[in-house]
Amino acid sequence: IFNLQREWFIGKYAVRYWSDPTLTYSVLTIESADQPRVQIDSFIGGTVSDLTGTDVTGEGNPDVIFEMSYGGATGLSCSVHVYDLGPTITKIIETATAACGARFADPNYDGVPELIVADTTYKYQFCSGAESPLVEVIMAYDRFGRTYRPQSALYPSYYRAQAEAYLAQTDLSAQIVALSEGGQIESVKCRVLGLVLPYLYGGMRSEAWSAFNQYYRYPDAASFRSQIETLFNNSPFCK
């Protein structure tokens, strides 16, 4: 038995958000009289964006934005679904698995918001999940392809600001020394990774590896760098 939680009437479309009595299993439906129903199941809750009903793509049609969530090997994960409600329902994107909490922002101030998600590629790779850094991915709308594509490298100033803020928050060198002396090399790796990733995703490879060489001076540095590069190149958000 599902209970109707919210509904939106957008032109000829009815968008409804349902959940079971425990509020853990939810369903989003999009219906109109002239088209097959769209249904998205979310197994551990789900979130309908407050931007639903607005035109986030700039195409001139209202959109539906739903972040479905589910459990996985790395904990709670999410995927963002965006549908364009034009004359026909068009699925714009279903993102690869990412951390929950996707948002829209306009980092280049062009009036069209970008979709920003957090890449979980590095979670548990070098240290605990709690210590593993998440790096934001900027997905810009491609009008020709009618989808969102990872375009993080086009926003270097955005990522440079993140790297600078990371360094301003703590004495990274002192942290690394203390962790290393305590035998916590896994934590050292994740502290360094938290600085390297913003540069790497922002297209600043020389800055990324310069920071890496400055802060990670251990015998396995070459192996660690190779692992980072492999994960980066294989991430679904770096294609």
Q: Please report the DSSP string for 171-202 in residue order.
A: -HHHHHHHHHHTT-HHHHHHHHHHHHHHHHHT
**Eight-state DSSP code of residue 130:** T
Report residue 203: phi and psi, to 5°: 80, 10
The ranges of the chain with pLDDT < 70 are 72-75, 239
What does pTM read for this prediction?
0.93
Tell me the helices (H) and strands (E) count for the chain, helix number first. 5, 12
Angle at 92 between CA 37 and CA 30, to 5 degrees: 20
pLDDT of residue 184: 98
Tens-digit pLDDT profile for residues 142-173: 999 999 999 999 999 999 999 999 999 999 99
Q: What CA–CA distance (Å, rounded) separates 2 from 48? A: 17
| CA–CA distances in Å: residue 196 to residues 105, 107, 116, 160 | 23, 20, 19, 11
Question: 107: how many CB neighbours lie within 10 A of its CB?
Answer: 17
Q: What is the DSSP string of 17-81?
A: EEE-TTS-SEEEEEEETTEEEEEEEESS-EEE-TTTTS-SSSSSS-EEEEEEEE--TTSSEEEEE
Tens-digit pLDDT profile for residues 209-235: 999 999 999 999 999 999 999 999 999
Instruction: Sheet containing 26-32: give its strands across.
Output: 3-10, 13-19, 26-32, 35-42
pLDDT of residue 70: 83
Identity of the residue numbered 165: A
Domain range list for the chain? 1-95, 157-234
The helix (run of H) or strand (run of E) holding residue 85 is strand 77-85
Q: Which of 75, 3, 16 is nearest to 44 (CA)?
A: 75
Task: Provide the 3-class DSSP secondary structure of residue 139.
Answer: strand
Identity of the residue numbered 220: D
The helix (run of H) or strand (run of E) holding residue 232 is helix 221-234
